[in-house]
Structure 1
Amino acid sequence: MLKSMRNNVKSLSWTLWLVILAFIGFIFVQWGSGRFESEGLDRDVAAVGRHKISGEEFQKNLGKSLEMYSKQFKNSLTRQMINQFGIAEQVLQGMVSGLIIQGEAEKLNLDISESELQDAIRAYPAFQNEGKFIGSDEYERLLAYNQMTVRDFENGLKKDLLGDKLKELVTAGRVLDLNMLKEEYRKENDKAELDFITFKSDAISEEPASTEAEQLDFYQKNKNLFQSMEKRAGDVLALKFADFKKEITLKEEEVFAYYKNNKSVFKVPGKTKISRIWIAYDAQTREQVLKQMEDTAALLTPDNFAAKAMELSGEENAKNGGDWGYWGWQNFSNQEQSMINNLKQGEISSPVDAGQGFSILFAQEKIAEQQENYEAVKTRIKSIMENDKLKKLTGERIAAIYEKINAADNLKQGAGNLAEKVTATGLLTRGQAIKGIDEMGYISQKLFTLSENELSQPLDFPEGIAVVRLTKIVRPEVEKYEIARDKVKKELQAAKKLQLQLARARSVAADLNMLADPGKLEAYLKKENLKPEAITYQRGGSLGDLPATPGLDETIFAMDENLYSAPLSVKSTAAVIVKLKSKKIVSDGDFNKERDGYYRKKLAEAKNSSFGSYLLSKKSAYDIRFNAEVFEKIKEYVISKFR
């Protein structure tokens, strides 16, 4: 419990998921485009200014996080889920964010004194018993039981406290409007228990017929449905990396020198899998437990270790045969880790005094770190070096003419001998691909951030580097009927289907409201092939996975109980009938009773949000470097044990 809390909940109180997610969006996109350099990093994964994140530290944190997630998912965590959730990226970005917080605190001369640290330890909920601190001996025992050293815990706590102190400083003076707070309270606490039945328009497979006159009439009455999207056009100078490949040469000695200078990067990390039997002792039972463990160790073999662990071990992993996997053991005591380092594969240790407990360790698997030879990685090195040179050369070519382009009347005029590479984009929607230039839509995305005639800064996109000048904006407007005819027909058919479903829903609601007998009600629903869904509804919510509907709050909380409503239309997608089973509506008196506590809670959330924005605003002040190769190798290695 303590370990999970320290590693995952408390630490995020100041690193903030908001910051992590926003930074992932910034940093990993930039890393992917090659904007962050890896210069000065050897076996380190990343650096923020002068502070580095070692591969070992990242590997340890990622391993611990994955073990925590695996427990949450009841050992069903897969590689696909790890990649989908971006867990490795979240772990690293949390570490990067922590270093930025540390840097900002240093600028402001913030620190945590020894007395502040001790006060925080004494007030820490996990170290309280009946409102009092449990004492130093019990504190150290509890940390040891959770595979934490005092130094590691206190260093982590100091970082947390420093982040909290910085957050309080930059968010001081933040207040909340009481009227808005009351509305938020109502939104969170007004609840209704509902059954609802959905009649989706697309459940009608046959397309309703429509005449030209009907379509024209529908168009005239619903012109707002047929607005064109905003479009923008520009001139773009895109220099592709591939165009400069002929100018890049790599000599064999250069490639080999890179290998020699970065040899440690090209290593397959070693791995050790450990199982443990652990029995706690106190001052009275120490000798007795030691004798028991010595007798046990004498009878242990690799074949019976798991069974003995399940029988004797006094920790959670006993149910797994004492298996701590490849990473969990890295939080064991120094004495245990020293023993593990000296064990060979298949060996079982003698009892080790781990502090408040004796352990017996079994090295299930032990594979030494292996150096990849030059021939095995030469192709990979050539690709890395070629990409680095191409990015540098392409960036230099753009930079050499950028000021001329900016000063010129148009992009072609300023591009000089690169004028032939300037292309008119034509009108584009946001994110639309430019065929033959930018298939991912990076350039058109940029167009929508510019003012008319503004020139962008050099823009990285997957195939190269570009500059773009916005030349034209076409605002949204109602499309002419002739252009929108197919869309009009489709929307009219959807509207007709919705009307059919509204009529059916109205009939079903009337029938259901007349059926009091549960058996007849169930039989009716079965005959009509209908299945009510039950939900707890809160203000601002929606009905299941249906889109949010304006006015839904007022409708639901005004309903009579235990009667199906008149049908509601959810855009053009569905008709819905709702039965209110019960509701709870809070009063001003309820709010006043909880106002102070609720205010503190919401103020803390607001400060977290403000702190996140503050940190995002500071990111550009830091030289952030990233070693993509080390990151990927460690990530792949750590997740390799998952199916």
Structure 2
Amino acid sequence: MLQFMRQKASSIIIKGVLSLVILAFIFLGIGNFREQQEVTAATVNEEIVTGREFQYTYQRLLDTYRQQFGGALNDDLLKMLNLKEQAMNQLISEKIILQQADKLGLNVSDSELAATISSIPAFQNNGRFDKTRYNRLLQSNRMTAAAFEQSQKQGLLVDKLRTLITDSVLVSDNEARQWFDWENARVKITAAVFAAEGRTDVDPAEAAVAAYYEEHKDQYKTPEKRKITYVRVAPARYLSEVKVTEEEIADFYQANQDFYWNEETVEARHILISLEQDADEARVEEARQKAADIYVMVTDGGKDFAETARQYSEGPSAGEGGYLGAFTREDMVAPFSEKAFSMAPGEISEPVRSQFGWHIIKVEKVNAAFTTPLDEVRADIEKQLLDQKAGEYAYEEALTLFDMALDTDSVEQAAASRNLTAVTTDAITQNDTLADVEAGRTMVRQAFDFVEKEISDVITEGNTHFLFQVTEVMPAAVPPLENVQARVIEDLREQMRKEAAQAEAESVLEKVKAGQPLEAACAGTQAEIVATGFFGRTGAVPDIGNEPALSRAAFDLTKNQPVAPNVVEGRTGYYVVVLNDQKAPEASEFEEKRDAVVKRLTAQKKNEVFMSWLKTMRQESDITIDEAFLR
């Protein structure tokens, strides 16, 4: 029920517009530990984007793409994604949006913020917001409630600004119908399929093989490879080296009283008679009278409250006899909270009106506010302080290791002197990863920017530190023809098969254009004639498969131009395409899906309007970027 009421209490939800809200629980360092000061990565209308903000955003994007692509996320794909530029653009957009929200006087109320935070599953226990869990989770991630709540406020401000800018966007029925007709058009074609695979009449001569090899040498080049030697410095190794005193535990406890404060809570049941917020007076009175009658049942009538709730309540907690569990003042909407917190245990309220309807409340227990005793959290505090000290110890050890490696010009020697293990990898390429090594991807990426024997700065992933050295560089090289001859011959055969298939298709197309029927034009060729059923713009072509180029060509055809003017190159061969029939969707189909179409197009148009507005704001902003962050 709590979750139901929170969701209904605010129409604003976290959408992650432009990924604005910085993920509160990511605290990853990137690069040199000696360079964590707040350097300026960019300025937006005199507001600074810090190097730390840039690092967090870049790491977040990288983690997102790693989850999406897994092992397929290689260096080529990373370069294509240009994550550093993405991160910078995202941060600049965030600054502009928040600046404009401030200019327009937009704000987020405490009740809106409370509703949003209360609805986050990580802070809930059995589906209800748990203040103790909230505080402890923030504390364990070394974040204050103020900082986290500020990030949530920013996300809500973005939603409000977006709503303000796009609220007037509408989609007409005519627009919706035109889009629906285009999207749901169907065609039927006949295609002559000239497959490259399976052609056996290709046998390249020795001279042709040699010529192909010379022309495509780079295709057979072995990539540059490197070996690196790295050392891992983890805090767990130093837990036995650090101690925590009782005084430190007590000091931490006193300095963080907010985390251990538990607000007053009420445990209650309720019976809800639902009512729309915009209900007319007659409906309001009808619902009130029903609630009043139930109130008499559970007071003067002596009926059991829980059983009555099961029978009459229209809220999600009806099955539990209306039981809501323990909640704070902020957990409920104001009218409900004000009444519940003014009542004594056992008391039953007269009907109370909220935006959800009429409530009859029975308070079962009032829990006074209290501070969690030190003895109950001593072990948690001690562990946190030990972890913190071990982390600091590991950090200092990593810096010492770095200095010694520079002095000896050897990571391996420095590791041995500190009783640490140095690991030397096999020869790796830029696309390789180091399995089970937290900083593996970062080390590989940096290694290919280094010269031989160069030593990295300290690299941090999570709370673990790494140092590595490029110990061997094996340049890229083109192997002699005899070493790759089988590959070259097969590649040339594949090219020859494609050329033969294309030549046949071109010949047939010319005959069809001259008026010859498709089947007759294909006589004596290796073509397969396929007459499809109706199909749409997306998805597979019946009896052929997923061929986007073929689909596009088919939907370009008309009754006046039923033959595709050019041979269509597909994924596995070539096509000569002839239109058989076209079909538009029925008006009844549109009427059935009108609302969904309008909703989809409205969301699309709103996004276009917002992005256009953001583009204009960016053009009008004074922006400077430190290009070093993009390299």
TM-score bucket of the superposed structures, by smaller chain: 0.3 to 0.5
TM-score by length of 2: 0.46
Please say which structure displays the higher CA radius of gyration: 2
The TM-score normalised by the length of structure 1 is: 0.45
